[in-house]
Amino acid sequence: MSGPNIDAARIDAARIDGPLNPAAVLWDMDGTLVDSEKVWTISLADTARWLGGELSAEAREAMVGSNMGRSLALMFDDLGVEADPGRMAEAARYLTDRTGELFAAGLVWRPGALEALRMVRAAGWPTALVTNTLRTLTEKALDSIGREHFTVTVCGDEVPRGKPDPDPYLRAAELLGVTPEACLAVEDSPTGALAAERAGCAVLVVPCDVPVPAGPRRVQRTSLLGLTADDIEISYAQARGERAA
């Protein structure tokens, strides 16, 4: 967990003002805030070659937004390599080390992401970074993008099950002291949107590398460019079905 103190006044205001005002904003990292899915494409391809094969485009697309375990299971299946636990552990170490090298070189912001983070913090909303990425790699990313944007952070290896299960979002809401239903999650992938939806969050979907289907608690936006506090509240209300589009 990292970041400044939780803004209790904002949470209280959300409870008083009612459902149109979210209590917190929960941010995915890879593909939502930073263009790191392209970094993962490099490290996953390198890991596949280390295993003696080439990763298919279909397998790579299925990995977007996924956790380490599922990504490696997809890779081994795609390459036709026996999923021996020892070999998978070695591949996990290789993938982690290679991705860490690339993260340490610096990450590129998604359009409008930095300004959106600053706007949300200035507006007083508590925030969480909710990622399937391992803590060790997330710390390298935070060195680049800044810890000050987040009240708390939750990583894929800190919960029983990663996205698409709801555990990361449930944990983030717990740390912030709010209900998941009172939160707006910002996601770019089908896997992440499903996790947030399963947790009960309203979801603002900003697709990056793959299309994200519509869902009962989702609204879509093409970019974070120009995002305002009003947009946050309207997106939250629309995802909850409480205001017409």
Look at residue 4 and tell me whether its pLDDT is greater than 90.
no
Q: What is the CATH number of domain 37-104?
A: 1.10.150
How would CATH label the architecture of 8-36+108-239? Answer: 3-Layer(aba) Sandwich (3.40)
Residues of the chain with CATH 3.40.50.1000: 8-36+108-239
Does residue 172 contact residue 23 with C-beta atoms inside 8 Å?
no
Residues of the chain with CATH 1.10.150: 37-104
Look at residue 93 and tell me whether its pLDDT is greater than 60.
yes
**Percentage above 90 pLDDT, the chain:** 73
Strands in 127-130's sheet, in edge-to-edge order, are: 152-154, 127-130, 24-27, 183-187, 202-205, 218-220
Residues facing residue 26 across a β-bridge: 128, 185
- Flag whether the pTM goes above 0.85: no
pLDDT of residue 117: 97
